[in-house]
Amino acid sequence: MDIAVTGASGLIGTALRASLQADGHRVISVGRSPGGADSLQWDPAAGTVDARGLEGLDAVVHLAGEGIASGPWSTAQRARIVDSRRQGTDLLARTLAGLSLPPQVLVSGSAIGYYGDRGSEVLTESSASGTDFLADVCRQWEAATAPAEEAGIRTAHLRTGIVLDRKGGALAKQLPAFRFGLGAQAGKGDQWMSWITLDDEVSAIRHVLDHATLSGPVNLTAPNPATNAEFTEAVGHALHKPTFLRIPRLIGKLPFGVGDLVRSLLFSSGRVVPHVLVESGFEFAHPELPSALEAVLAT
């Protein structure tokens, strides 16, 4: 297949591109900077994209967007987070809808932040959206694919959880502290964390690409979410390090948008399960956290 990927240089995009190319698929990277033969240029803020390069492709995977943890949630940073997702997705969806030979499928990024802070409630794709900032971001993100859906392009929204990889993402940022014996549980540790290994994330995206019956929201999380206490203990055990420290909830009251970011990353609870993936026959290579961490942290 010929597949265009936005965000192809990010953690997930890089791994997805390598996986697809290893199986003989042609991957066209869509980015802001000029590239080689298998690349297209776009500028979502300016509303420009090389539409001719998208003609006749089999599929598009849209993963681009400002990182939610790239800075404190000031008013300006919140706007960047929203705009980077809404503008890029709307531009891509409208462009695909207007092609003479559009792709059969658009697989567009989203996140489990869609569900908001929900305590111990088990959340599936049919669960309602939350009410906080990230939930609003995800609603706008997903809604921006409407032109593609209205044009008859099969569209799936990847509600991705915490992607585990030792070289990138949230886990990689925590590993130095854990390796020095400074791994810490956040508060009581009863908030739920829905995770997935990078390998399973890539396999799940390819599963969605290949299964014509899959559209709409798809939770990309392992079937066994863990509490923050369980997650902290499991990482410490995998690294043979103690995890007796605690991060007080008081840190979530820091000013200038820092507290909002910390509360969302450390204290928000989302017990998300991959109902659609499981029902469609997807098999996880790493369904349990302890063995998943052993695989991820293996050198």
Q: Do the beta carbons of residue 18 and residue 10 sit within 8 Å?
A: no
**Parent domain of 88:** 2-297
What pLDDT, on a 0 to 100 scale, did the predictor assign at position 259? Answer: 87
With a cut of 90, say whether residue 69 has pLDDT above it. Answer: no
Two structure tokens written together for 144: 């921006």
With a cut of 70, say whether residue 290 has pLDDT above it. Answer: yes
Question: What percent of the chain shows pLDDT beyond 90?
Answer: 90
Lowest mean pLDDT among 24-33, 81-90, 247-256: 247-256
With a cut of 90, say whether residue 255 has pLDDT above it. Answer: no
The CATH number of the domain where 60 resides is what?
3.40.50.720
With a cut of 90, say whether residue 254 has pLDDT above it. Answer: no
| pTM higher than the cut 0.75 | yes
Over range 92-105, report the average pLDDT.
98
Query: Residues 126-137: pLDDT tens digits?
Result: 999 999 999 999
With a cut of 80, say whether residue 34 has pLDDT above it. Answer: no
Q: What is the total count of domains within the chain? A: 1
- Cα–Cα distance, 157 to 110 (Å, whole number): 6
What pLDDT, on a 0 to 100 scale, did the predictor assign at position 299? Answer: 62
Query: Residues 145-157: pLDDT tens digits?
Result: 999 999 999 999 9
* Unique residue bearing structure tokens 């993402």: 169
Q: Do the beta carbons of residue 184 and residue 227 sit within 8 Å?
A: no
Beta strand 39-43 pairing with 48-49: antiparallel
- Cα–Cα distance, 255 to 240 (Å, whole number): 35
Two structure tokens written together for 226: 């863990």
Lowest mean pLDDT among 49-63, 65-79, 193-207, 214-228: 65-79
Encode 105-126: b = buried (16+ Cβ within 10 Å), e = exposed. Answer: bbbbbbbbbbbbbbeeeebebe
Over range 168-185, report the average pLDDT.
95
Query: Residues 257-267: pLDDT tens digits?
Result: 788 888 999 99
Q: For residue 61, give the nearest of 218, 196, 222, 168 by alpha carbon.
A: 218
With a cut of 90, say whether residue 210 has pLDDT above it. Answer: yes
With a cut of 80, say whether residue 36 has pLDDT above it. Answer: no
Q: For residue 133, give the nearest of 194, 196, 85 by alpha carbon.
A: 85
- Cα–Cα distance, 193 to 297 (Å, whole number): 18
What pLDDT, on a 0 to 100 scale, did the predictor assign at position 12? Answer: 97
